[in-house]
Amino acid sequence: MSDQYPTDPHDPTRAYAQQSYGQQSYGQQPTTGYPSSAPSAISPQEERTWGAVSHAGAVAAMVFSAGFLGFLASIVVYVMYKDRGPFVRSHAANSLNVQISMFIWLVVVTVLYVVLGVVTIGIGFVVLWPVFFVPPVIAGILHVVGAVKAWNGEWWNPPLTPRFVS
């Protein structure tokens, strides 16, 4: 058993550092020797900033990875800041939902592309090639709108996007 994390502060057999509970200022919590596990809340400006980063980071990652890694920025902001404020949680979840929706649409388009390409003996490949660019472009537009809305402090749910993550 470690002396750093005592199990019972009222146990007379253990040595504890002297604590003067009567002299704390207003709002100060007494120190018990336990590490704080609750994340601290962030200011409304920081919530707006990180909400915008969840969307803008997804767009940047999509551009630099040809659409494959856009979800990384959304996941990082969601995991790190979801418990720090409802605004940043909402925007990070919306960013993830846009990425999940885009992935589903890309799977559907790929299946249609292959099926119609095989059935039409190659004509479907040529005709449907531009359709591959539609989901990433729509996702990019939704992320830009979401970043602007988050930066302005507006709550927003992207259209055409189911709520997989909340």
- Write out pLDDT tens, residues 15-69: 444 444 444 444 445 455 555 556 788 899 999 999 999 999 999 998 888 777 8
In a domain, 11, yes or no: no
In a domain, 26, yes or no: no
Instruction: List for the chain the helix, strand, coil content (%; round to 5).
Output: 60, 0, 40
In a domain, 20, yes or no: no
Show the tokens assigned to 74: 């959304």
DSSP string, 131-145: GGGHHHHHHHHHHHH
CA atoms within 13 A on the CB side of 81: 27
Show the tokens assigned to 5: 């994390």
In a domain, 161, yes or no: no
Q: Does the pTM of the predicted model rise above 0.75?
A: no
What domain range is 88 assigned to? 45-151
CB atoms within 10 A of CB 49: 15
How many distinct structural domains can be found in the chain? 1
Residues in the chain: 166
In a domain, 63, yes or no: yes
In a domain, 5, yes or no: no
In a domain, 23, yes or no: no
